[in-house]
Amino acid sequence: MNRPAEVTNPEPPLEIRFGPVDIAQVRIRSTDPGIIVDELTGRVATAPKFFERTAVCVDLSGLGREPNAAELRGVLEAIRRAGMLPVGLVNGTAATDALAREVDLPLLAQFRATSKAPPLVHAAPAAEPEPDVGPLIHTQAVRSGQRLYARRRDLIVMAPVGAGAELMADGCAHVYNTLRGRVMAGARGDTQARVFCQEFYAELVSIAGVFRVFETLPPELAGKPVQAWLDGDALRFARLGE
């Protein structure tokens, strides 16, 4: 009788890897669930494909006090009702760590708050300074569902960036072609980073976590060569050369 061959060196049942993951932050200034639901629902409605079921971290530093566990559970439920998925707390103290344990969430202490107060939802920067390196240059089209990340450097794209594509750079982001999709410069908190493009149709633009979505972008700049930069907490746009 033939016996089945034994399986040798099977693949492990799981792997743990670390990589670049952009997680939005929700910095709350109220623990009122109704206020939070109303505000976040409006944000989600402006860009449902970007915000619906997106993972977010909750920043309690804007409260000026430490909420109790019951208040925090109400906040987390309000965020879920708005369509987002809270996965942890950020920018916390030892008391925040204890609170995170009570609600069974991690405290992601590696994230740090920026010196200026950001809007309610913003991308999460890491804080440590990094040495400058040459830019990442990409010469092929970036299609829907694709992501490019220029870690610790600028990103230069020489081809079209399609709707649904995503560009991330710790430095500046340059697109010498049509820019659709989403672009995030200064991903690690560099407020001096800028976005440049030849033809502007972006779905979302973010610099150091401050963002604007397509519906709130200046319509007169559509299809034009544009740059974007931070002015304090405001994200500014202008035609190149002006």
For the chain, the structural domain boundaries read 24-123, 136-239
Query: Whole-structure pTM over 0.95, yes or no?
Result: no
**Gap between the Cα atoms of 99 and 227, Å rounded:** 42
| pLDDT for residue 140 is more than 70 | yes
DSSP secondary structure, 145-214, as one string: T-EEEETTS-EEE-S-B-TT-EEEESS-EEEEEEE-SEEEESTTS-TT--EEEEEE--SEEEETTEEEEG
- Digit-coded pLDDT (tens) for 80-90: 998 889 999 98
- Digit-coded pLDDT (tens) for 26-75: 888 899 999 999 888 877 776 666 677 888 889 888 888 889 999 999 99
Q: Per CATH, which fold does 136-239 belong to?
A: Pectate Lyase C-like (2.160.20)
- Digit-coded pLDDT (tens) for 156-212: 999 999 998 989 999 999 999 999 998 999 988 899 999 999 999 998 898 987 888
Q: Is there a shared CATH topology between the 24-123 domain and the 136-239 domain?
A: no
> Options 3.40.920.10, 3.30.70.2660, 3.30.70.260, 3.20.20.120; which CATH number does 24-123 get?
3.30.70.260
Residues 6+ positions from 13 with CB-CB distance below 8 Å: none
